[in-house]
Amino acid sequence: MIELHEASIVAPTHDGEVRVLEPTTLTLTEHRIALIGANGSGKSSLARLLNGLVLPTTGSVRVRAETDRWLDTAHDGGAVRQLVGFVFTNPATQLVMPTVIEDVALSLRRQHKRKVDRLAAARDALARFGLEALADRSVHTLSGGQQQLLAIASVLATEPAILVADEPTTLLDLRNSRQISELLLGLPQQLIVATHDLELAARCDRVLVVAGGRVVHDSAAPAPTSPAEAVEWYRERA
């Protein structure tokens, strides 16, 4: 579970400060949550608050660990990022090692101190996602769908409790987009996905519509509606 209390983002610019996200209070408990909105609406900024990639200018963002201890992104950043994994729009942002297996092994350096153990765990992770045949391939030779699948595998190899994905299907063709969507929706982890894919959003348990740096519609409140109705609300105003 993630809680935001009056969390805002103010960014400095050459012309002064710009408020990217208005003070926002949310409790995110549903298994699958979608953030939808136009480009520049603030949904990606909201997503990046959730694991401490961006810290709130005011207010707080807290994540509840399995022990019921609350972790604050501003003070417990490392622990929060172990609990909340993050997948970027462009997988190239995350793929930093020469080969597929080395990239997954890099994410496992905290869990496994010995290289041989990291590589074994990395192979297991690749097998779970059907990537074992690509283990020794250069990450630069993979297709866009394979790269995104590898980025997700690298994050999930560390077994986070929550996965935040920022527009994970935007750069993909229809077939790969559907593959990644099905993978994400089937995860046991809590999923929070910022997306332009309204079909994906409608299949989530809760939809938040973001516009002008604020949550303008929430399928969970104040009068609960279905995710599909929240998506239609957005369509009518887009």
Give the C-alpha distances (Å, rounded to integers) separating 58 from 15, 24, 61, 233: 21, 10, 10, 30
Domains of the chain, by residue range, sit at 2-237
Residue 26 CB contacts under 8 Å (≥ 6 apart), including other chains: 2, 3, 4, 208, 215, 218
Amino acid 113: pLDDT: 85
Share of the chain above pLDDT 90, in %: 84
* 195, 166 Cβ separation under 8 angstroms: no
Does an H or E element contain 153, and which?
helix 144-156
* 158, 79 Cβ separation under 8 angstroms: no
68 pLDDT band (50/70/90 cuts)?
A: confident
- HSE, side-chain direction, 13 A CA sphere, residue 164: 24
Compute the mean pLDDT over every residue in the chain, rounded to the nearest whole number. 94
Amino acid 236: pLDDT: 94
Amino acid 223: pLDDT: 82
Does pTM surpass 0.85?
yes
Give the C-alpha distances (Å, rounded to integers) separating 216 from 22, 83, 94, 118, 150: 11, 28, 31, 44, 34
* 49, 4 Cβ separation under 8 angstroms: yes
Q: Return the structure tokens found at 207.
A: 């939809």
2-237 carries CATH number 2.102.10.10: no
Mean local confidence (pLDDT), 206-231: 94
Amino acid 198: pLDDT: 96
d(CA 139, CA 177): 19
Mean local confidence (pLDDT), 90-103: 92
User: pLDDT of 161-209, one tens digit each?
Assistant: 999 999 999 989 998 999 999 999 999 999 999 999 999 999 999 999 9
Amino acid 66: pLDDT: 78
CA 128 to chain centre: 20
Does an H or E element contain 162, and which?
strand 162-166
d(CA 176, CA 216): 31
Mean local confidence (pLDDT), 64-70: 85
Amino acid 221: pLDDT: 86
Share of the chain above pLDDT 70, in %: 100
Residue in the structure block whose two tokens are 């200018």 = 57
Mean local confidence (pLDDT), 4-11: 96
d(CA 192, CA 117): 31
